[in-house]
Amino acid sequence: MLFNSIEFLFLFLPTTVLGFYLLQRGGSVWAVRWLVSASLFFYAWWHPPLLLLLLGSATFNYLIARLLEKHRHRLVLSVGVLANLLLLGTYKYATFIADNAAWLFGADIAAPDIVLPLAISFFTFQQIAYLVDVYRNYPAEKSAWRYLLFVSFFPQLIAGPIVHHTEMMPQFNHLTRALDAWLLAPAITLITLGLAKKVLLADTLLVVADPGFAMASQGLPLNGLEAITSATAYSLQLYFDFSGYCDIAMGCALLFGIRLPINFESPLKATSIIDFWHRWHITLSRFLRDYLYIPLGGNRHGTPRRFGNLLITMLLGGLWHGAAWNFVLWGGLHGVFLMLNHGWRHVSNARFANDPRLLVRLPSGVLTFVCVVSAFVYFRAPDVATANRLLQSIPDNMAWSLGDHYKKAVSESLNGDLLGLLTHGFGADLFIGGIMAGTLGTALLLPNSLSIISQTSADISTQPPRGQRSVIALRWRSNTLWAILIAGLMVAVCLSLSQVSPFLYFQF
């Protein structure tokens, strides 16, 4: 079930919230059981048989954790972690391994036809972290219902954040609070802003980004402006898509009085790759740091070992995103960028790292943006060859206008409606230019949703946002003006829900 669907917004979510506040009067036990039941229904909506996989994984890890609490032996932990990795590897990487083995050995190896379960990367990583912490003397959860809620809680189940048990378990123990109007208004605001990012911005950017990648995939020539436009449009599409999902997830959790960790905080405003990874998929960065980079040795064994650990961590982080070489290359590029960034900070004694002056921050911000957008080409392209072809088009065939083939593809993707009629010839340049300028300006000049909402007294997350300054100040208030604005945005979103598109992180 998608957040940006009629059945979720007007059937599932209101029913779940109403049932929760009716049943919680009987105590937190009934509230937990209701949320578990709703979350399992939410997960099963897409492909019911895979619910057994989620339940089996949760049951296995719950039992392993209880065993670890009694016998904190490395063998027990190893069995638990390896079983999780085997499950993830079977469903997500079996086809990738078979295809590469067939290519390497020249054999005719049939790739298995496997349906990738939703959220398997997320709930597997959450449970590996839980097992490791129980091994490190954290007490295992006694209640099977609360543990199942930790694994399946629907706002963060499909695309994160990768929640940590120390953040969630204490909250699940106190679910008997009354409906709080001071949380309800920010929750609805966050959900609406997230839907607007997804439906009105990300889905519009899709029609600009896709033609360039399709042309590169088919071997059709692109000029440099088309390649730059497609690459930048996709980066912005992914930005608003992921940012929108995170807003909706936090808003939905707030409806039940539950705070999720911040997972996305204006990464395109980053002034270094290090800063980017402090803002992009923050909970994944936290997991990779705590459960991979530091156990590998972190920065404790000299610079060469530190850089090697960084590269290994980012390569595996790229592979986590998808079973294809272009994801591995994307992770590897970020590993190299991080090594260069840390090396530069060492050489410059880090005196430019937090320099507030615009003349320092602007060049570093532009360089970071170029690196991020270039790497995202490999994230989006169906294969490495397509990504290379698109990037090579920039220096080889630079132009100052979009080609007719590209503009026709944009027009056709709008299904021949009024906008389609306006996107021919010069109208296409204005249409695409307007989309790019508007969305890029929104990402770079406006504060993010959490910064807007956090100006209130409501506590909306497990940790405070950075509260950084933006070029344009915007502060949410519980007043009539904001109510009209949010209502207008929701109406615009509902009018655009006729063609529902999945979130880009939907099946990870």
Mean pLDDT value across the chain: 86
Taking only the tens place, the pLDDT of each residue in 311-323 is: 999 999 999 888 8
Give the list of residues 6+ apart from residue 93 with CB closer than 8 angstroms, or none.
319, 323
What average pLDDT score do residues 101-129 get?
82
- Which pLDDT value is given to residue 199? 92
Taking only the tens place, the pLDDT of each residue in 413-431 is: 776 554 554 555 566 777 8
Proportion of the chain in helix, strand, coil states, percent, rounded to 5: 70, 0, 30
- Which pLDDT value is given to residue 418? 46
Taking only the tens place, the pLDDT of each residue in 158-181 is: 877 889 998 899 888 887 666 666
Is the predicted pLDDT of residue 502 greater than 90, yes or no? no
Distance (Å) of CA 143 to CA 165, 170, 384: 13, 12, 46
Is the predicted pLDDT of residue 151 greater than 90, yes or no? yes
| CB neighbour class for 290 (10 Å; exposed up to 12, middle 13-18, buried from 19) | middle
Per-domain residue ranges of the chain: 6-179, 183-270+384-495, 273-352
**Nearest 5°: CA angle at 373, between 370 and 377?**
135
Taking only the tens place, the pLDDT of each residue in 132-150 is: 999 998 888 899 999 999 9
Taking only the tens place, the pLDDT of each residue in 19-48 is: 998 888 777 888 999 999 999 999 999 889
Taking only the tens place, the pLDDT of each residue in 176-203 is: 666 666 778 889 999 999 999 999 999 9
Which positions are annotated as active-site residues? Answer: 321
Give the list of residues 6+ apart from residue 435 with CB closer than 8 angstroms, or none.
204, 205, 208, 233
More confident residue, 450 or 128: 128
Taking only the tens place, the pLDDT of each residue in 349-405 is: 765 666 666 666 788 899 999 999 999 999 999 999 999 999 999 888 777 778 878
- Which pLDDT value is given to residue 402? 82
The rounded percent of the chain whose pLDDT value lies above 70 is 88
Burial string for 84-95 (b: 16+ CB within 10 Å, else e) reads beebbeebbbeb
Q: List the one residue out of 174, 170, 84 whose CA is nearest residue 122.
A: 84
- Which pLDDT value is given to residue 336? 95
Residue 187 CA to residue 458 CA, distance in Å, equals 10
pTM (predicted TM-score): 0.90
- Tell me the pLDDT band of 475, cut-offs 50, 70 and 90: confident
Angle between helices 51-70 and 74-88 (to 10 degrees): 170
Is the predicted pLDDT of residue 107 greater than 60, yes or no? yes
The rounded percent of the chain whose pLDDT value lies above 90 is 48
